[in-house]
Amino acid sequence: MILVTGATGNVGRQVVGQLLAAGVEVRALARRPEAAGLPAEVEVVGGDLARPDTLAPALIGVDAVFLVWPFLTTDGAPAVLDAVTAHTGRVVYLSSARVRDDVDRQVDPISGLHAELERVIAESTTEWTFLRAETIASNALGWAGQIRASGAVGGPDLAAKPVVHEGDIAASAVRVLTEDAHTGVTYVLTGPEVLSRADQVRLIGAAIERPLRFEPIPVAAARERMLADGRPPALVDALLAGADAAPETPLITTAVRDLTGAPARTFGAWAREHRGDFG
């Protein structure tokens, strides 16, 4: 029995579906089970990571937990891990490829958050596996409204990254959740090619057979716009973290292929799968 947190999100739904396809019993944690919209074979149990005292019913009898952390701080994480490890020590955590092991202090809030979560987990159990994912392809779904309305995507021109398909993250998670050879291992999951935001917009345009364009916005202007839209300052800082920093050379790994036996899928393939979201 695998407990999936974040089961209604883009990655979590893929993990649920692929575990079911592999014949594994799946339980999903949801704040509102009645609205989860998951397959009937999934046992959906109410609970909230923000309230660790609500987690016990979802954890009874589980063998492993797929953990997605939905908050901007690690407040409450020790209590959540105490609740988890009272039932199972096996935790697979969806972390970030921004985390660096060669520095004493992480360079931005996102990497700092994930590095701290990794530390809390490692102090709570020895049966951990960390999946450090690069920029997730499904993040581009946030552009759908702009694309349908104007054919243009505006935003800060962040550093190019080897964007990874959320289905490949899920396939990797299924392997480490159901096999015994991954305890204490960190995997960096990437796509097969380094893409800028303009590249991603171009590939979406090719998929929907419509010319699209990316319009760079200065980081300061983007910050002002996001704050004016009512987004919390901490969230804005996290979303724009590292935007002004000098870009690092992106690392492409073979972790997806090594774990799943199949090569990482391209962003172009992802865009073709999601034509209906942008058309």
At 247 the pLDDT is 61
Mean pLDDT of 102-123: 92
- CA 87 – CA 206 distance, rounded (Å): 48
Mean pLDDT of 205-214: 97
> For residue 182, which amino acid is it?
H
At 236 the pLDDT is 84
Which of these ranges, 64-68, 103-107, 234-238, has the smallest mean pLDDT? 234-238
Alpha carbon separation from 253 to 191, 197, 257 (Å, rounded) = 8, 20, 9
Angle ∠(127,20,32) on CA atoms, nearest 5: 85
CB 201 within 8 A of CB 271: no
- CA 12 – CA 16 distance, rounded (Å): 6
The pLDDT tens digits of the residues spanning 159-183 come to: 999 999 999 999 999 999 999 999 9
At 211 the pLDDT is 96
More confident residue, 246 or 160: 160
Non-local (6+) Cβ contacts of 19 within 8 A are 2, 4, 26, 174, 177, 178
Measured torsion, CA atoms of residues 270, 274, 278, 279, in degrees rounded to the nearest 10: 120
- CA 159 – CA 272 distance, rounded (Å): 23
- CA 79 – CA 56 distance, rounded (Å): 12
CATH architecture of structural domain 2-138+165-191+248-265: 3-Layer(aba) Sandwich (3.40)
Q: Is the pLDDT of residue 230 over 90?
A: no
Q: Is the pLDDT of residue 239 over 90?
A: no
Element (H, E) at 130: strand 128-133
Prediction pTM value: 0.94
The pLDDT tens digits of the residues spanning 25-49 come to: 999 999 999 999 999 999 999 999 9
At 246 the pLDDT is 57
Q: Is the pLDDT of residue 248 over 80?
A: no
